[in-house]
């Protein structure tokens, strides 16, 4: 199906670019958190049988209503509904996130369950995806009668009004006193479309938990006060699913993007948090190069929310924009970011509107991950000759642009008529206190030089297996028999390599000499300070922490190796946390970056590669996790507590393995060899167990392995 055919036909086609086309009696476009959270609460209060929530991040402490009336946190709100409705069940499926995101989430996975303990509230994590991927769908289905899909999670730092005031006391959540203005969009549907989304969620639940939840008899739970934006329309459901465990890849989202871009005649309007997908950029560049092609209007955040994201995803976005600007020979590209008095608006929406005839709202960013690597869910409607739907789509587009410009939607519609284009209308209306400013280049040449390509930072497929060797060892893959055998083989090869080095190299003599030197002073305070200094220096140079812990154990013995290894690792975490906090300042970052690059361009590339990988792939170096925490200004007490809780089991296991290995080599015998086998088996089995319980240490290896929602 080529672009010429798409112009005159229906874009959404089951089996090609969508999973299902289903009828919705009512559809509403919910713009910004106040509208979304309130309508979720009102629909949930009308539920009789089932509330099902799927998300990248779900926080039990957020409040859905912030209009001055009493409002319970989400967990307590759901518990109160369960208490009043004996037939109601609540299923919450949260992404089994990598440890790098732990400090951005509520502490439930690390230090205890904060969701209410109720027999009909079923909470599970979903880690059923390839290594490095994430579950990014954001769906709420109520009684299989109403469903919400879009960019919103029921998470912290999402709520805002469409006014996006620079200061709003309601814009705060547990652990976050205040956050910047936040813009996002959700689509709400009922009828067969909602029932189909209920089926999708039930299938996700089964894959994650192995248990099935039944469909329910649909009633009318649509909030009475909410007027739909359009009625009686077909809704297409498009998904991204990576190939995993005999399931083939599903690339409906990417195909729908490309088909919609190919079908455009006048205008392509895109709102996206990230803008890094190479195939999407190439398709847009091709249309911009046509003499009679459509205009392209992109609304994106001025910068990413954290400096590490800005240095990586921001750099990739700048490369995409350079490609598009080079292709824009006819002057039809407009890229802007919304501003309000005294601040910028964080654009988190994922919206695509083509002409007045096609609208897509969902969870998928215009990024490589969203196209092929993470799980996503988008909804789309199209006019297909129906003037009602065409007017609804055009009105929604004008409403979005009007919000960004701080004007009435009617003024946008009139300006479009006068200018003959959306870009011309924006140019005519721009300049007020709220406005869309052109997105200027922000990437320093240094960063552009050393930041790696999108294949590493924004991957569209799983990383190669050899880069995940240590992840396999620590149980980051599935608990299958094959995974166990791979972990066992990896451990065995490591032991054999170390044994060979011990037998045929001067390694035992060196370690013996070092042990003799430190034996008289190993309990002195100066020794502890020296070990701490080595760990801190190693952390700054991205030296694998595993090696330092093993070395300390071989030299100092099991008990002191564990004690000093834990002390040194915690000190390294604190120092790199402080460094991340300092590097959050632009001036300091430029200074340090210039020094590092001047001393060694190769080292600069290595550091940036590690930083990029650590921030964006859920397989992160220990040092990078700490830098992220500091740059994000995570509360230090919370950081220190969680670091201690997550590191202690891992340091203990590593020290124990090293100590038992040394004993088996020095004094081979049935007892020492048996003890080594026992601790190796413990490492094999407890790695996956502790990870599932979210007590695994954050990447002890320091090896680069990389959404934010």
- Per-residue confidence band for 310, with pLDDT thresholds at 50, 70 and 90: low
- The region that residue 68 occupies, defined by phi over 0 for left and psi between -120 and 50 for alpha, beta otherwise, is left
Find the mean pLDDT for residues 12-35: 97
Q: What is the pLDDT of residues 253-287, one digit of tens each?
A: 999 999 999 999 999 999 999 999 999 999 999 99
The dihedral over CA atoms of 17, 22, 28, 33, expressed in degrees to the nearest 10, equals: -60
User: What is the fold, at CATH topology level, of the domain defined by 264-361+383-450?
Assistant: Endonuclease; Chain A (3.30.870)
Q: What is the pLDDT of residues 374-405, one digit of tens each?
A: 999 999 999 999 999 999 999 999 999 999 99
What are the structural domain ranges in the chain? 30-165+186-224, 264-361+383-450, 463-692
- Which pLDDT score, from 0 to 100, does residue 269 have? 98
Do 598 and 551 form a contact (C-beta atoms < 8 A)? no
Distance (Å, whole) CA 558 – CA 555: 9
- Which pLDDT score, from 0 to 100, does residue 470 have? 34
- Which pLDDT score, from 0 to 100, does residue 644 have? 80
- Per-residue confidence band for 447, with pLDDT thresholds at 50, 70 and 90: low
Of 75-84, 309-318, 360-369, 572-581, the poorest mean pLDDT is in 309-318
Q: What is the pLDDT of residues 473-522, one digit of tens each?
A: 333 333 444 444 554 565 556 556 666 666 677 766 665 665 565 555 55
**How far is residue 435 from each of residues 305, 312, 406, 407, 423, measured CA to CA in Å?**
20, 26, 6, 9, 13
Do 30-165+186-224 and 264-361+383-450 fold alike per CATH? yes
In this predicted structure, the answer to whether residue 575 has a pLDDT above a threshold of 60 is yes
Distance (Å, whole) CA 219 – CA 49: 9
Q: What is the pLDDT of residues 589-638, one digit of tens each?
A: 444 444 444 444 444 444 444 444 333 333 345 666 676 567 655 667 76
In this predicted structure, the answer to whether residue 96 has a pLDDT above a threshold of 90 is no
Distance from CA of residue 363 to its chain's centroid?
11
- Which pLDDT score, from 0 to 100, does residue 138 have? 98
Distance (Å, whole) CA 588 – CA 607: 16
In this predicted structure, the answer to whether residue 666 has a pLDDT above a threshold of 50 is yes
Q: Which of 297-306, 327-336, 551-560, 683-692 has the highest mean pLDDT?
A: 327-336
In this predicted structure, the answer to whether residue 325 has a pLDDT above a threshold of 80 is yes
Distance (Å, whole) CA 666 – CA 682: 22
List the beta bridge partners of residue 135. Answer: 375
Distance from CA of residue 525 to its chain's centroid?
43
Average pLDDT, the chain: 79
Residue 187 three-state SS: strand
Of 190-199, 569-578, 583-592, the poorest mean pLDDT is in 583-592
User: What is the fold, at CATH topology level, of the domain defined by 30-165+186-224?
Assistant: Endonuclease; Chain A (3.30.870)
- Burial class of residue 57, CB neighbours in 10 A (0-12, 13-18, 19+): buried
């Amino acid at each position: 199906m080529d672009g010429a055919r798409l112009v005159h036909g229906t874009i959404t086609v089951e089996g090609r670019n969508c999973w299902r086309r289903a009828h919705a009696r009512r559809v509403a476009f919910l713009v910004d958190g106040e509208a979304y959270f309130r309508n979720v609460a009102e629909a949930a209060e009308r539920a009789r049988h089932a509330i099902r929530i799927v998300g990248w991040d779900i926080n039990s402490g957020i409040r859905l209503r912030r209009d001055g009336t009493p409002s319970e946190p989400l967990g307590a709100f759901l518990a109160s509904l369960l208490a009043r409705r004996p037939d109601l069940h609540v299923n919450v499926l949260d992404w089994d996130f990598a440890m790098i995101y732990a400090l951005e989430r509520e502490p439930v996975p690390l230090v205890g369950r904060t969701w209410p303990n109720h027999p009909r509230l079923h909470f599970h994590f979903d880690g059923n995806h390839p290594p490095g991927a994430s579950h990014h769908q954001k769906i709420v289905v109520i009684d299989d009668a109403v469903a919400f899909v879009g960019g919103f999670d029921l998470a912290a730092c999402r709520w805002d009004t469409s006014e996006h005031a620079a200061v709003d006391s309601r814009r705060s959540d547990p652990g976050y006193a205040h956050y910047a203005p936040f813009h996002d969009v959700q689509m709400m549907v009922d009828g067969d479309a909602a029932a189909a989304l209920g089926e999708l969620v039930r299938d996700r639940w089964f894959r994650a938990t192995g248990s099935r939840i039944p469909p329910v008899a649909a009633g009318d739970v649509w909030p009475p006060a909410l007027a739909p934006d359009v009625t009686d329309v077909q809704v297409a459901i498009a998904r991204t699913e990576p190939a995993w465990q005999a399931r083939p890849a599903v690339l409906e989202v990417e195909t729908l993007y490309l088909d919609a871009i190919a079908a455009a005649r006048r205008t392509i309007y895109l709102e996206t948090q990230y803008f890094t997908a190479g195939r999407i950029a190439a398709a847009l560049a091709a249309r911009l190069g046509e003499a009679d092609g459509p205009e392209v209007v992109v609304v994106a955040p001025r910068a990413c929310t954290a400096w590490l994201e800005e240095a990586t995803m921001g750099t990739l976005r700048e490369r995409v924009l350079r490609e598009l600007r080079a292709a824009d020979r006819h002057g039809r590209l407009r890229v802007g970011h919304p501003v309000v008095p005294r601040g910028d608006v964080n654009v988190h929406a994922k919206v695509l509107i083509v002409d007045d005839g096609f609208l897509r709202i969902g969870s998928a960013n215009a990024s490589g991950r969203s196209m092929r690597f993470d799980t996503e869910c988008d909804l789309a409607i199209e006019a297909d000759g129906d003037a009602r739907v065409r007017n609804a789509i055009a009105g929604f587009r004008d409403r979005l642009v009007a919000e960004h410009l701080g004007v009435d939607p009617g003024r946008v519609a009139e300006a479009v008529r006068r200018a003959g284009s959306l870009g011309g209308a924006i140019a005519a209306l721009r300049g007020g206190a709220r406005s869309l400013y052109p997105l200027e280049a922000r990437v320093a040449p240094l960063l552009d030089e050393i930041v790696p390509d999108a294949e590493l930072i924004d991957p569209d497929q799983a990383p190669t297996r050899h880069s995940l060797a240590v992840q396999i060892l620590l149980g980051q893959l599935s608990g299958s028999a094959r995974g166990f055998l791979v972990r066992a083989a990896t451990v065995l090869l490591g032991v054999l390599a170390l044994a060979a080095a011990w037998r045929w190299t001067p390694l035992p003599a060196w370690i013996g000499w070092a042990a003799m030197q430190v034996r008289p002073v190993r309990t002195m305070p100066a020794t502890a300070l020296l070990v701490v200094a080595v760990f801190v220096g190693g952390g700054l140079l991205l030296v694998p922490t595993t090696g330092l812990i093993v070395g300390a154990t071989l030299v100092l013995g099991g008990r002191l190796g564990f004690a000093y290894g834990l002390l040194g690792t915690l000190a390294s975490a604190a120092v790199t946390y402080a460094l991340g906090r300092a590097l959050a300042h632009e001036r300091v970052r430029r200074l340090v970056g210039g020094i590092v690059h001047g001393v060694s361009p190769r080292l600069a590339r290595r550091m940036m590669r590690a930083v990029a990988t650590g921030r964006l792939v859920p397989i992160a170096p220990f040092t990078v996790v700490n830098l992220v925490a500091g740059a994000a200004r995570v509360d230090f007490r919370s950081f220190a507590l969680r670091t201690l809780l997550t590191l202690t089991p891992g340091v203990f296991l590593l020290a124990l393995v090293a100590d038992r290995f040394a004993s088996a080599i020095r004094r081979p015998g049935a007892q020492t060899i048996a003890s080594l086998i026992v601790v190796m088996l413990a490492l094999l089995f407890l790695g996956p167990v502790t990870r599932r319980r979210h007590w695994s240490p954050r990447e002890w290896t320091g090896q680069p392995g990389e959404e934010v929602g």
